Amino acid sequence: MRWSRRDSRGISQRNPKVTGVLPVTLEESRKIVQAFLHSGKEYVCVMKLHGDETENRVNEVLREFEDTIYQRPPLRASVKRQLRTRRIYYIDFLEMDGRNVLFKVGCEGGTYIRKLCYDVGEVLGCGAHMQELRRTRAGSLTENKDIVTLHDVAYWFAEWQQQKDKKILEKFIQPMERALTLVPKIYVRDSAVDAICHGANLTAPGILSLETGINSGSMMAVLTLKGEAVALTKAGASTEEILNMEHGIVAKTERVLMPRGTYPKCWRSGEA
Amino acid sequence: MFPAMPRSVAPWEIERKLLVKAEDKTNPRYGHKPEERPSEEYIRYGIINLDKPAGPTSHEVAAWVKRILNLQCVGHGGTLEA
């Protein structure tokens, strides 16, 4: 989609006053988008009330929305409009000025804050809408660390093209492994890597170490001892179970991140 | 003012420990540490924590980055569409 389209869509259809952390994946790293989609998000939001309410009442109602909520995506949404549940980890009321309410919300990916504001307004009785929104966190990326603007990207990239100094790239690009900070990780032997790159499932003998808190069915990142991401997998057992396994499949490979042949092939093929 | 309610744990509040199952070494001949990838590869295996400006959509912003960096394909994690 190009900028030149703006005339045909008109201002009302655009994204007014929605800013903040947007993880941009470059070429090969697009494969980790999955890890972002299911990660938690944090927003700071300005909600405009349509009537006068006391601070206490607003705070009370916001609190009611903590934990699990039901939500139907708004009319203009990029997903199917069916009722679904989303978890709200916390809502912190920050301040209130007249009819403008400022709050911070930590929620599961896919929660519509515009809808949340509308629903808060319904419960209050006076109605409300979302005025302004800023995403302060997407998974492991926050607005406090390594955030850059489009201008920074254009500037540093031009600088790098002239000087060819990798230090400049590091100012605005992070290795994709940064995105996996919050995903439970499992480290494997060099000899297991290429098989996984070819789509094989992860088996117990290849595992060197793993993090706590893995449950059967949860997403898990497979890494080499050098810390490179090999694949995203779906765990078939919990941390404790995996530790005691001698053989058998530990995780199903869902998305391979590393190209084949990066590590040597270490398995016997049929003909040999 | 309000009784302290037990907050549910957000994904970024979970602490994880690393448990070792077996020991092994890695061969320095293959692969690179993520920070030590050669420049071109570093870009292709990179992500940008971008501060999305107000106005353009997430898709447009991603398309701009693609043009600035002269890449084949650029995606974004989680549309910021509200």
At residue A77, the pLDDT reads 75
Measured between CB atoms, does A85 come within 8 Å of chain B? no
On whether the CB atoms of residues A3 and A201 are closer than 8 A, the answer is: no
User: Is some CB atom of chain A closer than 8 A to the CB atom of B19?
Assistant: yes
Give 3-state DSSP helix, strand, coil % of chain A, rounded to 5. Answer: 30, 35, 35
User: Is residue B65 classed as helix, strand or coil in its secondary structure?
Assistant: helix
Which residue shows structure tokens 């069915």?
A217
pLDDT at residue A8 greater than cutoff 50? no
**CB < 8 Å from A in window 52-81 of B:** 52-65, 68-69, 71-81
Residue A224 has pLDDT above 90, yes or no: yes
pLDDT at B9: 86
pLDDT at A38 over 90: no
Is A238 exposed, middle or buried, given 0-12, 13-18 or 19+ CB atoms closer than 10 A? Answer: middle
Residue B81 has pLDDT above 50, yes or no: yes
The pLDDT of residue A5 is 47
**Coil, helix or strand at residue B49:** strand
Q: With a CB-CB cutoff of 8 Å, which residues 106-165 of chain A face chain B?
A: 106, 109, 112-114, 130, 133, 135, 137-141, 143, 145-150, 153-154, 157, 160, 164
Q: Would you call B40 an interface residue with chain A, using a CB distance cutoff of 8 Å?
A: no
Cross-chain residue pair A1–B71, CB shorter than 8 Å: no
Q: What is the pLDDT of residues A84-107, one digit of tens each?
A: 899 999 999 999 999 999 999 999
Per-residue pLDDT of A152-205, as tens digits, reads 999 999 999 999 999 999 999 999 999 999 999 999 999 999 999 999 999 999
pLDDT for A257 beyond 50: yes
Flag if B82 and A114 touch (Cβ within 8 Å).
Answer: yes
Q: Does residue A7 register a pLDDT over 50?
A: no
Instruction: State the pLDDT at residue A270.
Output: 64
pLDDT number for residue A227: 93
What is the ipTM metric for this complex? 0.86
- Whether A96 contacts chain B with CB within 8 A: no
Q: Is the per-residue pLDDT at A83 higher than 80?
A: yes
- Of A28, A101, A5, A29, nearest in space to A60 by CA: A101
CA B82 – CA B72 distance, rounded (Å): 28
Separation in Å, CA of B64 to nearest CA in chain A = 8
Asked whether residue A30 carries a pLDDT value surpassing 80, the answer given is yes
More confident residue, B79 or A69: A69
Say what the pLDDT of residue A167 is.
92
Residue with tokens 């201002």: A11
Chain A contact set for B25 (CB, 8 A):
225
pLDDT the model gives residue A6: 47
Mean confidence (pLDDT) of chain A? 89
Higher pLDDT, B70 or A2: B70
Residue A215 confidence (pLDDT) above 80: yes
pLDDT tens, position by position, B36-51: 999 999 999 999 999 9
- C-beta neighbour count of A228 within 10 angstroms: 24
B49 touches chain A (CB under 8 A): yes
Residue of A16, A176, A179 lying closest to B54 (CB–CB): A16
pLDDT value of residue A255: 93
Q: Which of B47, B52, B61, B73 to mutate to test the interface with A (most CBs of A within 10 A)?
A: B47
If you count residue pairs, one on A and one on B, with CB atoms under 8 Å apart, how many are there?
Answer: 283
DSSP assignment of B1-30: ----PPPPPPGGG----EEE-------TTS
Q: What is the pLDDT of residue B55?
A: 84
pLDDT recorded at residue B58: 87
